[in-house]
Amino acid sequence: MSANAKKSTVLTEESSIMKSDLPPLGTIFTLGDTITEEQRAFLNIWGYLHFRGVVKPDEVTRVLSELVRIEELWLSEGRTKINGVPIFWGRDVDGSRFIQRFPFTSEFSEDIRTLVRSERFEPIRQMIGDDIRVGDAEKDGVVINRYKNVPGSVYPRLGWHTDGLRDLFYGRMPQPMLNVGVHFNEVSRADGGLRLIPGSQNQDFWRMAFAKPYFVWHREDPREICVETQPGDVTIHDGRLWHRVARSQNLGNASLRHSMYVPYLKGPYEPKTDWTPTPGYHHLGRVLRAVRMANPRVWPAHIRSLRR
């Protein structure tokens, strides 16, 4: 069977398991050596899966400390982009610069590179297709998001979107894909975090493109569910699924949330380098972040006084 046939099977196959036989929405599964039929059916119907504790506590600690090291490195080098993809720089409570989105992390950390290649992810990679590779230097690489709710944050939340539509910026129709996320913090509803509309992957292109205004729409949806995580949890979601990241109701360090997204890819190898032009949607994002940072209301009081 070709890799293509296999992928579309996962995403569209009529399962013998009926919706009514599935465990309830919000179920948190355990990742074993294979994806069970029940898990496949859940993913087909609801467009996502949530696994508890796939990444171990010492690995969680390791990745977070690697992030601090990478941040110091990029700060000392004055980096604004990696392979054409902007680093999101925000301001912490004390006014110091801090990174809120790290692209291509596995190119800068052996620990991260090893983790995303771990055997335990093999059942997930299998589901995506045969001969799956980690896109260390493709798309935005292994991305780590760092959300924080402070006045100078450029990334306290993320508006409604599907991930698949980014393909349009690469001049092609959205391709079937599964997004694999690792969660590093304990996040309950009040801590903000991932919200998704179960089943919204089953829509035509029109609804995928226009059901909500991309990235600028943050309003709660009556159909949305909240993905509450423990450090080390893994989620998989369909590239056509509508989702957002809600703002934490806490402030400062209590609002910190990290998520990592791993591009498990097949098809033509499309590596990026420092000479690769910035994708269109990142230009758009940069404008939005600049507007946010230029708005004096987002600056902490003592910084506002320095800017006057």
In the complex, which residues of this chain contact Fe ion (CB under 5 A)?
163
For position 39 contacting ligand AKG by CB under 6 A, the verdict is no
For position 134 contacting ligand AKG by CB under 6 A, the verdict is no
CA atoms within 13 A on the CB side of 101: 22
Other CB atoms within 10 A of residue 80 CB: 10
Residue type, 247: R
185 contacts 230 by C-beta, under 8 angstroms: no
CB 21, min distance to ligand AKG, A: 28
- Decide: residue 287, CB within 10 A, 0-12 exposed, 13-18 middle, 19+ buried: exposed
User: Which residue from 254, 262, 231 is spatially nearest to 150, judged by alpha carbons?
Assistant: 254
Nearer to Fe ion, 67 or 143 (CB): 143
Binding map of ligand AKG across residues 258-287, x = CB under 6 A, - = no contact:
-x-x--------------------------
For position 289 contacting ligand AKG by CB under 6 A, the verdict is no
**What is the rounded CA–CA span in Å between residue 255 and residue 248?**
6
For position 245 contacting ligand AKG by CB under 6 A, the verdict is yes
CB 125, min distance to ligand AKG, A: 20
For position 197 contacting ligand AKG by CB under 6 A, the verdict is no
127 binds, among Fe ion, ligand AKG, none (CB under 5 to 8 A by kind): none
Q: Which of 11, 54, 127, 158 binds ligand AKG (CB under 6 A)?
A: 158
For position 162 contacting ligand AKG by CB under 6 A, the verdict is no
How distant is the alpha carbon of residue 178 from its chain centre? 11
- Quote the DSSP letter at residue 75: H
Binding site for ligand AKG (CB under 6 A): 145, 158, 163, 181, 194, 243, 245, 259, 261
